[in-house]
Amino acid sequence: MQEKTINAGIVGGTGYTGVELLRLLARHPQVTVTAITSRKDAGTPVTAMFPSLRGFMDGLVFSTPEEAKLTDCDVVFFATPHGVAMNMARELVAAGVKIIDLAADFRLRDTAVFKTWYKLDHACPELLEEAVYGQPETMREKMKGARILGMAGCYPTSIELGLLPLLEFEKAHPGTFDLEHIIADSKSGISGSGRKADVSLITAEMADNFHAYGLKGHRHTPEIEQQLKLFAGTENVKLTFVPHLLPTIRGIHSTIYVRLKDASMELDLQGLYEKRYAGEYFVDVMPAGSTPETRSVRGSNFLRLAVHRPGNGDLIVILAVEDNLVKGAAGQSVQAMNILFGLDEKTGLDMPALIP
């Protein structure tokens, strides 16, 4: 067997994005997980908490961040709540360690906006300056030499990649779409709410149930609008984002509505999407007329898209599905790591979804 060349650390390994990183890295041919931290569970073997990893992570034990020797790693993933990565970033960057943050610390370019939504002063604005935010599909070139990656979140990835071809078209042909009334009606499986002891998440509450939340303002909205503006080349973008909690374990389905300003305009939407994503292995533009299912990406790094124009009217409806823990978090981060280390982007991620 080929020798593995990348030593990876994971900070905050007891949540769902953490264990998903472990699942994916367990089969990555170039990566050894050498450190995993959890202050609360320090001393516990990983396989005692996650028996599904028995046989794959047998020697690995949760340790405190202090004991973890993260500076010896080649790359450190932060699968933590926001506010952790930014406080450890300087030390790690100084030690030459690549940082991949799955939380929010390196997503918003504007520290004032960050403070408004997260109630924290940014701990390392100079590193935020150089950090690259987004997905491989939108930021691949910039990611290549980066020292810090702020990965796009689960909802944002589905909406940003769902809208990208339209917004790039708008940039080239300003005035095509009404960007001030974009609606994203998103539905997320419950693993998106995290692995936490919360009555509202227990099975007897959420199985056979469905509801919206976050209508007063969701932290993902500024992050998404920031990117949509970037793609469209205009500040005149306004998103109404309504997330809902779905009684599935995994899966995000975003139904996105954008109005054409000229109802009579002819536009080859299918062609536009297919062309934009022709070279993107992990973005699958489904045949015209499709309605992608969340299960079609379960456990995989694919995002599947379909674009509709019902009744040939002025409203475009985009359907985007992804696994919130894979393309929406851990998988996308491994994809980005592959870019950072010059590997084939598919390495360790090249597997179909688990259906049924």
Name residues contacting its own copies, limited to 169-208 (CB under 8 A). Answer: 181, 183, 185, 187, 189-191, 193, 195-199, 201-208
CB of 11 to its own copies, least distance (A): 20
Q: Mask: binding to its own copies, 87-106, rule CB under 8 A, as x and -? A: --------------------
Closer residue to its own copies, CB minimum distance, 100 or 318: 318
Q: Quick check: 288 binds its own copies (CB under 8 A)?
A: no
Closer residue to its own copies, CB minimum distance, 26 or 120: 26
Q: Quick check: 43 binds its own copies (CB under 8 A)?
A: no
Do 85 and 105 meet the contact criterion of CB atoms below 8 Å apart?
Answer: yes
Q: Quick check: 40 binds its own copies (CB under 8 A)?
A: no
> Coil, strand or helix: which one is 191?
helix
How many whole angstroms separate alpha carbon 154 and alpha carbon 342? 25
Closer residue to its own copies, CB minimum distance, 52 or 87: 52
Closer residue to its own copies, CB minimum distance, 42 or 351: 351
User: Is 124 annotated as catalytic?
Assistant: no
Alpha-carbon dihedral 124, 125, 127, 130, rounded to 10 degrees: 170
User: What does each C-alpha distance from 346 to 7, 143, 158, 273 come to in angstroms?
Assistant: 18, 16, 19, 21
What angle do helix axes 269-276 and 154-172 make, rounded to 10 degrees? 110
Q: Out of 296, 332, 333, 335, which residue is the one contacting its own copies (CB under 8 A)?
A: 296
Q: Quick check: 274 binds its own copies (CB under 8 A)?
A: no
Q: Out of 121, 247, 271, 275, which residue is the one contacting its own copies (CB under 8 A)?
A: 247
Q: Label residue 263 exposed, middle or buried (CB < 10 Å: 0-12, 13-18, 19+).
A: exposed
Closer residue to its own copies, CB minimum distance, 50 or 168: 50
Residue of 154, 164, 325, 337 with catalytic role: 154
Contacts of 332 (CB under 8 A, 6+ apart): 135, 136, 151, 152, 157, 301, 326
Q: Out of 75, 228, 321, 330, which residue is the one contacting its own copies (CB under 8 A)?
A: 321
Q: Quick check: 211 binds its own copies (CB under 8 A)?
A: yes
Q: Quick check: 219 binds its own copies (CB under 8 A)?
A: no
Q: Quick check: 5 binds its own copies (CB under 8 A)?
A: no
How many whole angstroms separate alpha carbon 322 and alpha carbon 250? 9
> Coil, strand or helix: which one is 35?
strand
Q: Out of 7, 171, 257, 347, which residue is the one contacting its own copies (CB under 8 A)?
A: 257
Q: Label residue 282 exposed, middle or buried (CB < 10 Å: 0-12, 13-18, 19+).
A: buried
Q: Out of 299, 329, 332, 336, which residue is the one contacting its own copies (CB under 8 A)?
A: 299
User: What does each C-alpha distance from 15 to 60, 75, 227, 283 come to in angstroms?
Assistant: 16, 19, 27, 26
Whether the bond between 356 and the residue before it is cis, its omega within 30 degrees of 0, is yes
Closer residue to its own copies, CB minimum distance, 142 or 308: 308
Q: Among 28-36, 49-57, 60-68, 161-169, which window interacts with its own copies (CB under 8 A)? A: 49-57
Q: Quick check: 298 binds its own copies (CB under 8 A)?
A: yes
Task: Identify the CA nearest to 252 among candidates 211, 217, 295.
Answer: 295
- What token pair was written down for 227? 């990117």
Q: Quick check: 279 binds its own copies (CB under 8 A)?
A: no
CB of 46 to its own copies, least distance (A): 11
Indicate which residues carry an active-site annotation: 154
